[in-house]
Chain A
Amino acid sequence: MNLIAMASARMADFLRWGADAQGSTRPLGLMRIAIATIVFVRFANEVSLYQGDSLSFVLLGLVFFGLTSTMLVGFKAQASCAGVALTLMTMHFYMGKVHGYPGWSSHHIYILVVSVSLLALSPCGRSFSWDRYRALAQAQDARDIPPEHGDLWPQRLIALQLAALYFWAAVDKTNWSFLSGQRLEEAFIWSFTGRALEPLISLGAILAVLSIIVAVVEYFLAFAIFVRRWQALVLPLGLALHAAFYVLLPVNTYSATVMVLYLALLDPDAVHRFLDRMIQNHGQGHSPHHL
């Protein structure tokens, strides 16, 4: 088999894995709820109506609160996600990058923009949503009940986004200034000078070891997150890395967002069955009055 034939076979495999993916929509429903909550927490204070110094800013606040609320409860879920995505793009690119609104051009906002945009392309309203609740209430028989099943190519793109994030973050760290521990020391000086944990700055060679570990783990995660049989080891490793970032550096909502996006890496049907089991155990074993 020549090189072109091999490449086209790999491409076909890739498209089958990504573009043709189908399965349970429950992970998407959970991601929609969690990401809407994170967006709300990140911006609610900054775009609240009392912060408005112009009519357009007040309007932005009204649109923001309306759309994030409908995204959260899953009312017209895909349209709501599309609205939130457009709102976040305006805030990130126009207000953050063009007009320099402090903090709004940051990478933790961009990952929210990507997440919500991809959720808007997915059937994220088929599970855990007001849309589903209404459809169930209006169903005449079982055939009218909408399936918790659909195209998962946007979920695969979220997984690819995680891999790209790890790979390019590791590329950025593959240089002497990072691997020698100097850039980590600079970041720690920024975070810890004048604080109780200031001694962390003076770890010397340990900072170099930590830097090398972070870069190696990020390269590893970029590929290993896709290997299902490794996930029992790889996903806790990734979660631990983000937990460490969360408590050591002012990463804002970045770690929480990435942790939620790990749902895109799990087998969606396994998540579905797990939730079924949880609900059934509850229903068979206990009365809610006894809890």
Chain B
Amino acid sequence: MTLTCTAHTDAPPHTQRSAPTLRRAAFAAIAAFILLGPAPGQLFGAHSMLLREWVMFSAAGIGLPEGRFTLHRADGVVTMSPLEVVALPSYLALPLDRRIYEPADLKAFAARICNDARETARLSFEGSVGTFAGWRPLIAHDVCNNPAQAHYGDALP
């Protein structure tokens, strides 16, 4: 059996077309917007709501800690992972306003423990936090009662 294929596309001679000059102008303008629109924000930091920047997932892990929290109780120390401190199954469930954008934000991250009136032990943290520039060491001696002294490990307290 010979299979034939009709390779036409119903292309008619009378296909209506928009005016070439207008079409070309619209095409060039939209193409420039698509191709160059991200440049001001991504190259020069001039961000605009109307010019989309293609920076997917660049902030996905910003403000998330890696390391250990330690509760210094009278009967011994208890170490906890950051997820145990927030009592969530995954960071995907952590609201953005609980992330650590500044060292002092550790208190908001550990709010479950800091706001628990029954927990009087000092809570410290040693580890790193995700930033746009990569990981930064982060140290806090007393997360709940003296959040202002929390500092990056590569900076003076």
Contact = CB atoms under 8 A, between A and B. Distances in A.
B49 A93 contact: yes
B57 A157 contact: no
A24 B9 contact: yes
A150 B83 contact: no
Given A147-B12, A172-B55, A193 B38 contact: no
Interface in B3-27: 3-7, 9-12, 15, 17-18, 20, 23-24, 26-27
A107 B54 contact: yes
Interface in A1-46: 15, 18-20, 22-24
Nearest to A201: B66
Contacts of A164: 34-35, 37-38, 54
Nearest to B13: A147
Interface residues of B, number: 53
B10 A148 contact: yes
Contacts of B10: 24, 145, 147-149
Contact of A280 (B5, B49, B60): B5
Given A151-B18, A194-B83, A160 B31 contact: yes
A190 B92 CA distance: 6
Contacts of B143: none
B28 A273 contact: no
Contact of A176 (B4, B49, B52, B134): B134
Interface centre among B9, B31, B64, B133 (most CB of A within 10 A): B9
A93 B62 CA distance: 24
Contact of A160 (B34, B90, B91, B130): B34
B126 interface: no
B135 interface: yes
Contacts, number: 155
A194 B42 CA distance: 33
Contacts of A182: 130, 134-135
Contact of B57 (A20, A22, A187, A269): A187
A176 B135 CA distance: 12
A249 B57 CA distance: 9
Contacts of B132: 177
B3 A153 contact: no
A269 B49 contact: no
| Interface residue range, chain A | 35 or more
Contact of A190 (B18, B52, B91, B135): B91
B61 interface: yes
Nearest to B88: A194
Interface string B100-132: 000000000000000000000000000000101
Interface string A151-195: 101001100110111001101100011001011011111110111
Nearest to B21: A19
A157 B27 contact: yes
B54 A172 contact: yes
Contact of A186 (B1, B43, B49, B130): B130
A19 B134 contact: no
A195 B90 CA distance: 7
A18 B27 contact: yes
Interface string A191-226: 101110000000000000000000000000000000
B57 to A, nearest CB: 5
A75 interface: no
The 3 A-B residue pairs with the shortest CB-CB distance, nearest first, are A186-B61, A19-B27, A182-B134
20 contacts: A15-B28, A18-B31, A19-B20, A19-B23, A20-B20, A22-B15, A22-B17, A24-B9, A107-B56, A153-B27, A157-B27, A164-B37, A180-B134, A182-B134, A186-B130, A187-B61, A188-B61, A191-B91, A250-B92, A280-B4
Given A172-B55, A182-B135, A276-B5, 9 more contacts: A19-B24, A22-B11, A23-B9, A107-B56, A147-B9, A171-B38, A186-B60, A193-B90, A251-B56
